[in-house]
Structure 1
Amino acid sequence: MVPRMRCQPLAVRRSARLLIAVVITSLVTAVSPSAAMASGARHSHAEDRVIVGFDADASRRERRRATASVSVASVDGVSVIAPDVALVDLAPGQSVPRAIRKIKAQPGVAFVEPDYLVQAAASPDDPWYGSGKHWGMYGGATSPHANRFGSGAGEAWARGHVGASSVFVGIIDEGVQVSHPDLAPNAWRNPWESVNGIDDDGNGYVDDIKGWDFYHDDASVYDSVADDHGTHVAGIIGARGGNGIGVAGVNWRVTLIPAKFLGPKGGYVSGAVRAIDYITDLKTRHGLDIIATNNSWTGGGYSQALADAIDRAGDAGILFVVAAGNDGRDIDAAPAYPASHECVTHADGTPRGWDCLVSVANIESDGDRHPDSDWGAVGVDMGAPGTDIISTHPDDGYAFLSGTSMAAPHVTGAAALCASLDPSLSARQVRGLILGTGAPTGSLSGRTVTGDRVDIGALATACVPPPTPPPSARAVLIDDLDEEFRRYGPGWAEGFSGFSGHHFWLPAREKARAHYGAWKPVLERAGWYAVAVRIPVAHATSRRAAYRVKTITGWVTRMRNQKKRQGTWVGLGIHHLAATPIVQLSDKTGEAVSLGRRLAFDAARFVPVAGPPQD
């Protein structure tokens, strides 16, 4: 019998250790970051230590004076990539609130905060996929079983999109049973380290062959059956598919890096910071293609140290995918960290221009948002399957678990699958494509940013790069964000499923209202060119898009059905062009406004050819 776990009150969860739809020990109240740091009494935290952040230009003397302002047992750095953050263990008799007040008053100190407690938020030949119970991986068109509210991963697999071991994902959670038959093929092994008692790669962790355990501070990433949550999360992202056993993850092939910081009763922010920085350092030090970390945990108040660690990862091009939480509340009204964090600034505080965080709610197999799932029209980005999800479990087993903890790894897996299809995509582009290809879901409308659930089938289509032009062709490509693309008239809206993760759109109209877009490239020379435009996955619903191409002899119109060609490049023909041609598309399609159809504007390309088309 495979165990099936559901959300329960916290006291029950602790006695029945297995359940992973877990939440924080105390509710997060709506307080500002500064108030949260100043208080420390609103949330559970370690009673014998604080986290201290110093100004970058603080002298050694100022740092020593700050920590000496209270009685301390020890002072340790948090990570090799955060030299201005320290974990200060207090001597017996010292209180956290007093230590915060005393240290904060010293010169050179940027912040002092408690070390908050956080907890887990809790067609292949693989038998469970064929059983009809693996609904989280199904889509509306999968066989032999289908569920339109599943993630759609099975639709991507049917087209041969199963991931790549060259893409890496960090599992920041409990431990992971890396010897599990469905996980072992995708478990990471550190090629820069050997078991010799020496820190060969110089990252501060000795013999970290398979990752690191920040809870026990050792190299064992799996300790016992208590590491069920992390093992289950890992399987959703990357259980090996097509091997005839067990389950299949979103990615049949991917490399999973465990960074354990949660134990039987949770873990602390200091451990989370170290785990995040460990993954970030692997990317910046060794160039690993780490697209995302999965963070199925929540709890505690706002932490500047944690926010900075997430921002450092964002600076390195790592998405922070996080469970929204299982308190059944609006986190816009009462923030829950880290889901409520906005990763829109660099670690130095300057604007990044995009958000590296994706917060995920839990939906059930009928499309309803689970009653325990947190939501937020601003703080939660989208939903994913999270109820009665079958995945890997300790002792080479499998179990059904529920919670936003299970929803988040579907999105993390989606990010890895997208990155495997086009390694040139940036984390920003991958995030845009994930959010831009979601499937509208009534239970999420007005309760998440997108109102959508993840749709991995549609995402995979959008992530596949366009065909590479012949080596002899010197193509010119104009994206919708390039200055060579011009928009005329008001009323433009933006979407996030275009060639570079972005596109514009307008409502289609029966009569023109001076709204149109124009691609105006500067070609190397006049000549014959094959002209094509890309139709994004979202907002392209017009059946009568009239593209006008300005050739040397005059304007030529080509009608195209955007609805039928979503996610593809569409040819407009071979034309004799001047060096400065124009392609136009206006909102005048002859389609009534009442039909609600839309015109999407994405990239256009111009590829030199030998001559005019042959009859």
Structure 2
Amino acid sequence: MSGSASADDGGDGRTRFLIDLDDVSRDEIPDSVDVVHDISQIGVLAARGNPDAVPSASAVTADVTAYQDGPVEEHDEDSEGSGGPAWDSGAPTRTELQWDKRDQRLGHLTERPDNRRVVHDTTTGEATRVAVVDSGVYDGHPDLADAVNADLSANYTLDSWDFRPNGAGDHGTHVAGIIAGTNADGEGVLGTAPDTEIVAHRVFSALPGGGASTGDILAALADAADKGCDVANFSVGYTNYDVEENPDLLDVKAMYEDLAEYAHEQDMTIVNSTGNDAVDMTPEDTLSLPTEAEGIFGVSATGPIGYLWDDEQSSREVKSLKTLDEPTATPASYTNYGAGVDVSAAGGNYDTDLPEGYYYDLVFSTIVTDDGTDDPVAGYGWKAGTSMAAPQVAGAYALVRSLRPDASAEAVESLIKETARDGPGGETYHGAGHLDLRRLVREASKGRKGNGNNGKGNGK
């Protein structure tokens, strides 16, 4: 996270604010107040104009700005020096760069010397739907072209463009690849749930401001629940540790708690990144939102140190995860920890003082460059952050729902936590534990019920 809480004016000089309909009647709102979003699911209006025009001051809360939880480090595949160590056998393939998926034995990324089962032998997330509430998703990327439901995707900002990045950055595209990359033609990246369906809700704009409005976010998440999404990935948050100076954050926290309750009623979970400030969230004077809101599923980040550095390996795809300086479940140096962490997952780690190729310890996924409205360019690159950890869990959620379509949101959350494994640093850094896809899918496949898709899925 970066930045502090502030009122967002939407780029047009008119103040953005939130109205709690428990404290004022909708009929009392004057015409001079422009209602941007009617978030009736939780009794809130997102508005702009003069907040003093609302007849009840207690009904008004500042529309504070949220920021992307990362990346804390990034590197594009086409950047100078991306070749890494001088491999005798050639540069690593893109699938070989996915330590996060290899560690979980997710799929048949490359030929293996054994015939062990992988997670995707059981499920690939078919007949599920995942919302990515972020900076937009570029559905022109070959690994995402068949994953994004363009009809359900939408823009929640005040600009006039669609759900694609449109200059808002490739953060959401990277997140989407972690969840649902399809490894197009065997030359791309593989997501945790490549047969899930992505609904892209853009809440970041290329307009001045740099952040996302709370009102836009609440509307996007509530609509995701109404669109039948099984889980919403929200790699976004707020940083402020002095709540006394920013009491509006407590009102925002209550709104997220109402939203999480509503989402659960629709059998949807909101998965959130815990933040990248290396802060203990346990003390009462520390508030990390929305992770610490009741009902939000918080994910901290872990990652290796030393992946693919050894250019003397005779079989890097087998040995590379066995020769690490730090294992993949090691808490990342930047991750927030303590209260609010439900589980940990792969978000990437890094040490820039170490050899060329340090970025191999970041998470490799889909990106887009020149991401404006004209001629965006699909690509691949590395990012590290709790932003990259949350979608690992969102994808895992889709795998469970594909096996247990009738399971409640709370039941899926419980299963993810119950099957998580112990990690270095214990509960403080990992909550219930570190995500374990093999154990999770194995347990989820027991006593399966139902095979309907509830109208979801992309038919792949």
Q: Which residue of 1 aligns with 2:287?
A: 335
Alignment of 1:365-376 (within 5 A): 365=304, 366=327, 367-376=329-338
Is 1:167 aligned with 2:128?
yes
Is 1:295 aligned with 2:257?
no
1:360 deviation in Å?
0.5
CA distance in 2, matches of 1:319, 1:409: 12
Amino acid paired to 1:342: E
Q: Which residue of 2 aligns with 1:240?
A: 182
Equivalent residues of 1:138, 1:145 under 8 A apart? no
Deviations 1:344-383 (A, max 9, x none): xxxxxxxxxxxxx21000101223211210001x311111
| TM-score normalised by structure 2 residue count | 0.72
1:185 deviation in Å?
0.8
Is 1:449 aligned with 2:388?
no
Q: Which residue of 1 aligns with 2:221?
A: 276
1:400 deviation in Å?
0.2
Classify the secondary structure of the residue corresponding to 2:428.
Answer: coil
Deviations 1:523-550 (A, max 9, x none): xxxxxxxxxxxxxxxxxxxxxxxxxxxx
Q: Which residue of 1 aligns with 2:314?
A: none
CA distance in 1, matches of 2:331, 2:42: 42
Amino acid paired to 1:358: F
CA distance in 2, matches of 1:274, 1:218: 17
Among 199, 203, 207, the alignment partner of 1:261 is 203
% identical equivalent positions: 24
> Cα RMSD between the aligned structures?
2.8
Equivalent residues of 1:182, 1:245 under 8 A apart? no
Amino acid paired to 1:169: V
| TM-score normalised by structure 1 residue count | 0.54
Amino acid paired to 2:270: F
1:244 deviation in Å?
1.1
1:161 deviation in Å?
2.3
Amino acid paired to 1:117: T
Classify the secondary structure of the residue corresponding to 1:186.
Answer: coil
Equivalent residues of 2:135, 2:169 under 8 A apart? yes
Q: Which residue of 2 aligns with 1:32?
A: none
Q: Which residue of 1 aligns with 2:103?
A: 139
Is 1:310 aligned with 2:255?
no
CA distance in 1, matches of 2:194, 2:48: 43
Alignment of 1:387-536 (within 5 A): 387=348, 388-394=362-368, 395-450=377-432, 452-466=433-447
Amino acid paired to 2:20: G
Classify the secondary structure of the residue corresponding to 1:181.
Answer: coil
Equivalent residues of 1:52, 1:87 under 8 A apart? yes
Change (3 A) 1:242 1:60: closer
Change (3 A) 1:402 1:412: same
Amino acid paired to 1:360: V
Classify the secondary structure of the residue corresponding to 1:408.
Answer: helix
Classify the secondary structure of the residue corresponding to 1:49.
Answer: strand
Change (3 A) 1:446 1:341: same
Equivalent residues of 1:138, 1:155 under 8 A apart? no
CA distance in 1, matches of 2:122, 2:101: 15
Amino acid paired to 1:271: D
Amino acid paired to 2:332: H
Change (3 A) 1:404 1:444: farther
Change (3 A) 1:81 1:137: same
CA distance in 2, matches of 1:467, 1:78: 39
Is 1:112 aligned with 2:60?
yes
Q: Which residue of 1 aligns with 2:119?
A: 156
CA distance in 2, matches of 1:239, 1:339: 26
CA distance in 2, matches of 1:60, 1:271: 19
CA distance in 1, matches of 2:177, 2:341: 23
Q: Which residue of 2 aligns with 1:352?
A: none
1:442 deviation in Å?
1.5
1:51 deviation in Å?
0.6
Is 1:51 aligned with 2:1?
no
Is 1:222 aligned with 2:174?
no
Q: With a CA cutoff of 8 Å and minimum separation of 6, indicate the structure with the bigger relative contact order.
A: 2
Change (3 A) 1:315 1:210: closer
1:77 deviation in Å?
5.5
CA distance in 1, matches of 2:363, 2:181: 13
1:225 deviation in Å?
5.4
Deviations 1:131-175 (A, max 9, x none): 2x21111227678889xxxxxxx9312x342220x2001100111
- When Rg is computed on C-alpha atoms for both structures, the one with the higher figure is 1
Equivalent residues of 2:331, 2:424 under 8 A apart? no
Equivalent residues of 2:302, 2:345 under 8 A apart? yes
Is 1:74 aligned with 2:33?
yes
Classify the secondary structure of the residue corresponding to 1:447.
Answer: helix
Among 9, 21, 24, the alignment partner of 2:2 is 24
Classify the secondary structure of the residue corresponding to 2:188.
Answer: coil
Aligned residue pairs total 358
Gaps of 5+ in 2: 10-14, 71-91, 112-116, 240-248, 305-326, 349-361, 369-376, 450-460
Classify the secondary structure of the residue corresponding to 1:453.
Answer: coil
Greater Cα offset, 379-388 or 133-142: 133-142
Equivalent residues of 1:379, 1:448 under 8 A apart? no
Deviations 1:57-93 (A, max 9, x none): x6555x23xxx5xxx84231623644832233234xx
Amino acid paired to 1:424: D
Classify the secondary structure of the residue corresponding to 1:138.
Answer: helix
CA distance in 1, matches of 2:259, 2:37: 10
Equivalent residues of 1:73, 1:89 under 8 A apart? no
Equivalent residues of 2:168, 2:204 under 8 A apart? no
Change (3 A) 1:255 1:305: same
Amino acid paired to 1:85: V
CA distance in 2, matches of 1:244, 1:374: 35
Equivalent residues of 1:79, 1:278 under 8 A apart? no
